Structure 1
Amino acid sequence: MGNFEKTKLYHIRNTNANSKLVIGQLLHAGQEYNPFYGVYEKKEIEKITMDPNYLLGLTTYYWHFARESTLEEVRREHFPSLPSRQKCLYVTSPENLNYWLETFKHTECQVVEVQIMGKLFKCDASLIEGNPKALSRVRNNAMRYWKGEIVNKEKVEYLVEGEVKVVHILNKKEINSITKKSGRVMTGFWQ
């Protein structure tokens, strides 16, 4: 974990699944499951069909669960002081905003600048992304992830535990200005 007080950090909020944030709002990360992981606590599979797209989605759903459970197991055993991916708030830097907006490209979202008043951990999502892998490889990559190893600077993410304050809500022009610096202009999916 490092000192990032002078770094601008942004949170991307899925507004299809969550209410919009307002300036001055305090978010508390670390006590309850975040929306990314919390779906496993709530979603029930009613009926399994043989539709290939459905089966692919189901396979992906359970692969993500296995991966996240393994990451949490490694964190608890070797890095218990770091924020949990299951309960953290995810934030990004201006340099990585473009990459993370791409992951939300089919979702209505809001981009807010935040002030971190809790723990902040910088890590590389490329170490844990991708197709299903042997759990031994996931554990090995998890060790690298939790040590803070950066192999792909485009996929850096920050995990926050504790209090986070919304200090600014970005408009389309501001988002375009930030993403233009990274070479691409994003359009049409944020509010």
Structure 2
Amino acid sequence: MVMENKAVNVANKIMYHISRENNWNIGDVLIAGERENQFWSICKDYSPRVIVDGKEMSIFQMIDQVSNFEVTQNNITFLYQKLKDVSKEMAFYIREQIFEDVRSKHYPMLPSRQKCLWVCEEDQIAYWKTMKEDCQRSLRTLELNGELFCGDDHWLTADTFSSVDYTDRAKHYWNGEMSDAPRKEFLFYGKAIIKEIISIKALR
């Protein structure tokens, strides 16, 4: 069943985007919605490599060698950190696949998280710039012409591998439902013109 929630058409709307990409310049035009974004490209291609006893190997090769690991605090910490990293990335992947499946089946008129450009309003910059500490990132001021959907980041918590849980959360998200303390994020499709670029360091 297709739901009725729709994206909002915007014209010459000023919003903001945080990115590590450094090949953009003022006046550049970005087209969002035609191809996969960097987040999804990285997410779906995640296949970590680790160094064990000076040798690079896949996570699965490392697991096959666990019986050879000495039981030391360093090895326990190493294995725990790798398990934590892989679990987090796999939870992201499952979440994004389920959210896209729910969107395409029930909310096909809304922007896909796999192809959108994420933007925020001015009063949300302080929150979103803290999501990943990286001084190389920059804040882009954009002029938007296209379609905009507002969702609540509350529904995106990646703390389970359950497709049932993510399906339920996805319905709340794509319905545009806001929690008691919403963390708004905007998904954009259309043309964005870069009006200004500021280093994240300059915002501190």
Q: What is the TM-score of this pair, normalised by structure 2? A: 0.76
Aligned length: 173
8 Å CA contact 1:124–1:157 kept in 2: the answer is yes
* Structure with the larger strand share: 2
Alignment match, 2:70? none
Deviation at 1:134, TM superposition (A): 2.6
Q: Which runs of 5+ in 1 are unaligned?
A: 177-186
Q: How does 1:48-127 map to 2 (within 5 A)?
A: 48=59, 49=62, 51-127=79-155
Deviation at 1:114, TM superposition (A): 0.6
- Which has the higher Rg, Structure 1 or Structure 2? 2
Structure 1 pair 172/12, CA: closer, same or farther in 2 (3 Å)? closer
Cα RMSD, aligned residues only: 2.2
Runs of 4+ in 1 over 6 A off after TM superposition: none
Q: Does 1:140 align with 2:160?
A: no
Per-residue CA shift, 1:47-80, capped at 9, x if unaligned?
1135211121111111100000000000000110
Alignment match, 1:11? 17
Q: Which runs of 5+ in 2 are unaligned?
A: 1-6, 50-57, 64-78
8 Å CA contact 1:25–1:166 kept in 2: the answer is yes
| Partner amino acid, structure 1, of 2:127 | Y
Structure 1 pair 172/71, CA: closer, same or farther in 2 (3 Å)? closer
8 Å CA contact 1:127–1:144 kept in 2: the answer is yes
Q: What is the TM-score of this pair, normalised by structure 1? A: 0.81
Alignment match, 2:53? none
| Partner amino acid, structure 2, of 1:85 | R
Deviation at 1:42, TM superposition (A): 3.8
8 Å CA contact 1:11–1:114 kept in 2: the answer is yes
**Higher RCO (CA < 8 A, seq sep 6+):** 2
Deviation at 1:152, TM superposition (A): 5.0
Higher mean alpha-carbon deviation, 44-53 vs 73-82, is at 44-53
What percentage of aligned pairs have identical amino acids? Answer: 26
Structure 1 pair 7/30, CA: closer, same or farther in 2 (3 Å)? closer
